[in-house]
Amino acid sequence: MIKNYLLHMSVFLILVVITFGSIQNPYTTTYIDQLKGDAVTVTKMGDPLYDEISEKASKYEQPAIDAVVDRVWKAIPGYNGIKVDIDASYEKMKKHGQFDEQKIVFKETSPSVHLHDLPPAPIYKGNPEKSMVTLLVNVAWGNEYLPGMLKIMKEHNVKSTFFLDGSWVKNNPKLAKMILEEGHEIGNHAYSHPDLKKLSNARISEELQKTNAVIKATLDVTPKWFAPPSGSFRQDVVEIANQMNMGTILWTVDTVDWRKPEPHTMVQNVLKKIHPGAMVLMHPTSSSAAGLEQLILGIKSQGYQIGNVSQLLSEERLSFRVNIGDEKEKESANN
């Protein structure tokens, strides 16, 4: 019995020593890694270069811009701010041991208020600090012009948002699939191109739901954005779309292409009104088809990127601008 007791005690003591050693042993991997990390931190903090980067970082910072409901322009998305990633910048500069503005690594900072935090409101434009423009193509007719417009967009690497009438999708599934296959975003344009302002809430819901259903069945896509036909709406329309997880999209620049203006004149009129965050309304018409390439080139020549609605309304920055006016292309802190 004494032997068994001694055996049990010996096993117990061995287990205690092993357990205690795994926690306190200064030579375990975890403890060594911690010491290494502390040493690196101390080395950085004691390096004049690290201190210089830290001191200068505030010069380059730009605060994030919150999304707001403007009295005139209604819902306006936020825009990410920028700040210096001090540790990543130090890693890029330490080899030469001196501060180099070209090696600063930036990271984005998020706004406190996002577009989805706002009460339901129509969206007319993107954030005015974002040098991007989007082309809104509302489709309920004009089939003959769509292939040519898609070809031009492809040649110039332009992705747009096509707002599709539900009945049009039902009658033209191949064209609808062609738009999607070309990489364009799909939006909801109601089912029968009605004046939504004059419809009951039940009819408004039906128009939007039927369109989402036929787009889902045909393209396996659920639209995030809704464009009221002819831009006619009331607040009920915006709120019903919001309940279906869709933002209501209007525009700031109109091609008025349904009046069949002379293409060159139409393009020049649009380019005079282009601004950061602009949403340009068009349709598959003869004027837009003939003037599209000139319009795209003109927008790009003014320094704007062209993206779809989701890209325009995202908070992501296009580039990092430092306070002295240089453009910094976005650079990952992982580089």
For the segment 54-85, what is each residue's pLDDT rounded down to a tens digit?
999 999 999 999 999 999 999 999 999 999 99
CA distance 154 to 171: 25
CA distance 69 to 73: 7
What pLDDT was estimated at residue 320?
55
**Residue pointed to by tokens 């919150």:** 66
Tens of pLDDT, residue by residue over 180-227, are: 999 999 999 999 999 999 999 999 999 999 999 999 999 999 999 999
Is the pLDDT higher at 94 or at 17?
Answer: 94
Q: Name, in order, each residue with C-beta under 8 angstroms of 315's C-beta and a sequence gap of 6 or more.
A: 64, 77, 78, 79, 80, 110, 111, 114, 127
Tens of pLDDT, residue by residue over 259-296, are: 999 999 999 999 999 999 999 999 999 999 999 999 99
**Domains present along the chain, CATH in parentheses:** 1-45 (no CATH), 46-114+317-328 (no CATH), 126-313 (3.20.20.370)
CA distance 189 to 116: 21
